[in-house]
Structure 1
């Protein structure tokens, strides 16, 4: 059934992925001589991050409609958890590369910080974990009902 709670968690994970694609993830204020500039990093700044993010978001949406195939839905949700953790790691490493490239170009970074949308992959992981737990409980319930017949 599509009105299960895990469908809501999968939808929330897809919304978090879509939102992360449209906001800045990292912001740095830097100086070059007498000029001050602001450098930002978002998911579209890196082709790899954007691709993995869109695959994860689409996978969350597709998984919602696999409610009749619970084993496949569970496996795809676990795969999606791994993708979300990978997105988090990719963001961290790409931001570090960007900061190192800015410093090696002669810029002095005055202030740099992660913005709130950078933590949306954590929200995705939590929502996907809760969805996987719900799918597993449904599968366990169906198996126990089959034993009673």
Structure 2
């Protein structure tokens, strides 16, 4: 399982998704100074002027968990390459959705709320990195599938 290069890419995608919980997505400075994480808003002010629902970050956190789960499932589905390809494509779609949802949803909404542009951090670009890893894993699975088909023709 691990000797295949796509397994390494799946593992890197899982690690990148896990790192999104460690590093901040963005810092916002303005009326309310805070740092945006996948799972929380870390306010610097004791009485922040920004009021958000406790469920505000749930879709963002759910998307990251879903991508990590799909990558793990694809990693463990090494015996069924067609399923692995399908799961990888779904994961790629989720990572693009997460990237678009973050930059065109969360970041813009919070930018309007504090009247200042965000200072993007490392975790903001992790969905693009996850997409790249899943794309490379997809190419590896396709290469394996092509190799198996060519071996079947020789038999």
Is the TM-score greater than 0.5?
yes
> What are the superposed Cα offsets for residues 45-90 of structure 1, whole Å, 9 maximum, x if unpaired?
4110100110110111121111110010011001100111111111
Q: Cα distance, 1:130 vs. partner?
A: 0.3
**Contact 1:17 1:124 survives alignment (8 Å):** yes
Check if 1:43 corresponds to 2:38: yes
Counterpart of 2:78 in 1: which secondary structure?
Answer: coil
| 2:75 equivalent in structure 1 | 64
| 1:11 equivalent in structure 2 | 11
* Alpha-carbon distance between aligned partners in 1 of 2:137 and 2:111, rounded to the nearest angstrom: 36
Structure 1 moving runs of 4+ over 2 Å? none
**Contact 1:24 1:40 survives alignment (8 Å):** yes
* Alpha-carbon distance between aligned partners in 1 of 2:125 and 2:91, rounded to the nearest angstrom: 16
- Unaligned residue ranges in structure 2 (runs of 5+): 41-56
| 2:22 equivalent in structure 1 | 22
Question: What is the TM-score of this pair, normalised by structure 2?
Answer: 0.84
Choose between structure 1 and 2: higher strand proportion: 1
Choose between structure 1 and 2: higher helix proportion: 1
**Contact 2:11 2:71 survives alignment (8 Å):** yes
Once superposed, what is the RMSD of the aligned Cα atoms?
1.4
Question: What is the TM-score of this pair, normalised by structure 1?
Answer: 0.87
